[in-house]
Homo-oligomer: A and B are copies of this chain.
Amino acid sequence: MQAEIIAVGSELLGPARLDTNSLYLALQLQQLGVEVGRKAVLPDRVDDLAEAISAACRRSPLVFTTGGLGPTEDDITVPAAARALGVALQLDDTAVHRLRWRFRKRHLRFTANNLRQAMRLSPARWLPNSVGSAMGQWCPTPLGHLVLLPGPPPELHRMVSEQVLPRLVKLVPRSARFTRVLSLVGLGESQVDALAAPIYSRVANPSTTILVTAPQQVELHFTAIASTLAAAQARADRLASQVARRMGNAVFSREQNSLAATVGGLLRQKEQTLAVAESCTGGLLGASLTQAPGASDFFLGGVLSYADSVKLHHLGVPAATLRRYGAVSAPTAAAMATGVCRLMGSDWGISITGVAGPSGGSRSKPVGTVFVGLCGTARPVETFRLRLSGDRDRIRASSVQLALNQLRLALQ
């Protein structure tokens, strides 16, 4: 079965933003055996969009639009779809009621333009939005279905997983499909491919996809098709295990957990606690550890020691260490980690201090030089020197990932 994706939004035609929603949709569809045959980006103009939707619905049985479901004059996907399919628009009382209730709950004023979000294509069914106010729509077309989805990625992702995939599974010819995902840290995409390709390229089913999903993080997706789900899963897992054996200790999850959640799980299992001391990352490590709920089981807190005075007075880094080795050094990282452990009474302490750039580098410590300290009860404090590349955002995110990875390896 072939699908087309139409992203709606004039801002996606400028030099600053790309339609990234189509990557997510393509991945979900691929896993169901649905191929994306064409993508388009259209401006917020009813005529153009109606023409594009109409052409797509004449070509393909599945057409997805993303964006343009908001309450403003710019949001023209619903009227364009109505014109494309030659169907009427209905103001849906239940939807009006739901929107009013939603606004009241949030103490927001309900204005006339919000009624736009209650206009439904007459043959369509609503797709509830569990994150925002823009509901999606699922509308029959002569060849198949037109699916209107919201643009903001969190809303789109939830709606696709909760509403769209369960409907699609029923449409797609019956065969079971299972994807096993291996998440790896610390190896580059081409290293992973060089190790994995000799194994996965021998088989067509499962199919294999390599994705870079975060700095220092690569995912291998193995998708198998078989007559039953159990058979597909066994097939995907067999190949995943063969590949995983080649990857040493780089594989940290088979369930698409984040690295922080994986580390959190290991700490929870051992009933141990963690505190952090962050300099150049300024809180990014703590933010990442507390992104998933339940972090209070293992995360006590930390100290953001951006200024050297904080390293000195609150983490107990000796003045002599700062003077002799500098704030970006292995001895400072070691003292920060042991300092925060002692201060918070945690089982483990991680510290990060480095040159995130773009300025501040020197010949001996260029931009991208980062020291990670790791201390734990009943073991000597360890430090790791990282040599990272990329811009400031990338260096900070990579530091967090590789610091977490050191704790993961110590906990295993």
Task: Write the residues of chain A forming the contact surface with B, with a CB cutoff of 8 angstroms.
Answer: 10-16, 18-20, 22-24, 26-27, 30, 35-44, 48, 52, 55, 70-74, 105-109, 111, 113-114, 131-132, 152, 154, 188-191, 193-194, 197, 201, 209-212, 221, 276, 278, 280-291, 293, 295-296, 299-307, 309-310, 314, 343-345, 356-360, 387, 389-394, 396
* Cβ–Cβ < 8 Å partners of A201 in chain B: 73
How many whole Å from A131's CB to the nearest CB in chain B? 6
How many whole Å from A223's CB to the nearest CB in chain B? 9
Bound-state Cα–Cα, A386 to B300, Å: 24
* Cβ–Cβ < 8 Å partners of A16 in chain B: 23, 209-211
Task: Identify the closest chain B residue to A7 (Cβ).
Answer: B39
Tell whether, in the assembled complex, residue A310 and residue B304 are in contact, meaning their CB atoms are under 8 Å apart. no
A-B contact pairs, 12 of them (CB 8 A): A13-B26, A14-B30, A38-B41, A70-B189, A70-B190, A72-B197, A131-B390, A131-B394, A299-B306, A302-B304, A304-B304, A309-B344
Tell whether, in the assembled complex, residue B154 and residue A111 are in contact, meaning their CB atoms are under 8 Å apart. no
Bound-state Cα–Cα, A284 to B282, Å: 8
Tell whether, in the assembled complex, residue A282 and residue B287 are in contact, meaning their CB atoms are under 8 Å apart. yes
In the complex, the count of this chain's copies comes to: 2
Interface centre among A284, A287, A289, by most chain B C-beta atoms within 10 angstroms, is A287
Bound-state Cα–Cα, A288 to B289, Å: 16
Of B189, B276, B306, the residue contacting A304 (CB under 8 A) is B276
Tell whether, in the assembled complex, residue A38 and residue B38 are in contact, meaning their CB atoms are under 8 Å apart. no
Bound-state Cα–Cα, A193 to B16, Å: 14
* Cβ–Cβ < 8 Å partners of A22 in chain B: 18
Tell whether, in the assembled complex, residue A359 and residue B283 are in contact, meaning their CB atoms are under 8 Å apart. no
Tell whether, in the assembled complex, residue A296 and residue B306 are in contact, meaning their CB atoms are under 8 Å apart. yes
Bound-state Cα–Cα, A315 to B156, Å: 40
Bound-state Cα–Cα, A345 to B309, Å: 10
Q: List the 5 closest A-B pairs by CB distance, nearest first.
A: A283-B286, A282-B290, A283-B283, A15-B27, A283-B287
Tell whether, in the assembled complex, residue A154 and residue B391 are in contact, meaning their CB atoms are under 8 Å apart. yes
Of B72, B282, B299, the residue contacting A210 (CB under 8 A) is B72
Tell whether, in the assembled complex, residue A281 and residue B287 are in contact, meaning their CB atoms are under 8 Å apart. yes
Tell whether, in the assembled complex, residue A305 and residue B301 are in contact, meaning their CB atoms are under 8 Å apart. yes
Bound-state Cα–Cα, A13 to B221, Å: 14
A295/B283 contact (C-beta < 8 A), A26-B13, A26-B15 known: no
Tell whether, in the assembled complex, residue A359 and residue B18 are in contact, meaning their CB atoms are under 8 Å apart. no
Tell whether, in the assembled complex, residue B307 and residue A304 are in contact, meaning their CB atoms are under 8 Å apart. no
A282/B295 contact (C-beta < 8 A), A14-B36, A36-B14 known: yes
* Cβ–Cβ < 8 Å partners of A191 in chain B: 108-109, 111
Tell whether, in the assembled complex, residue A293 and residue B357 are in contact, meaning their CB atoms are under 8 Å apart. yes
How many whole Å from A360's CB to the nearest CB in chain B? 8
| Contacts A18-B19, A152-B212, A278-B286 supplied; 15 other A-B pairs, CB < 8 Å | A14-B209, A40-B40, A73-B193, A73-B197, A108-B188, A131-B390, A154-B394, A282-B291, A283-B288, A283-B304, A284-B287, A286-B286, A290-B306, A301-B307, A302-B303
* Cβ–Cβ < 8 Å partners of A108 in chain B: 188, 191
Bound-state Cα–Cα, A23 to B109, Å: 38
Bound-state Cα–Cα, A278 to B74, Å: 38
Task: Identify the closest chain B residue to A19 (Cβ).
Answer: B18
Tell whether, in the assembled complex, residue B282 and residue A304 are in contact, meaning their CB atoms are under 8 Å apart. no
How many whole Å from A331's CB to the nearest CB in chain B? 19
A307/B303 contact (C-beta < 8 A), A154-B391, A343-B314 known: no
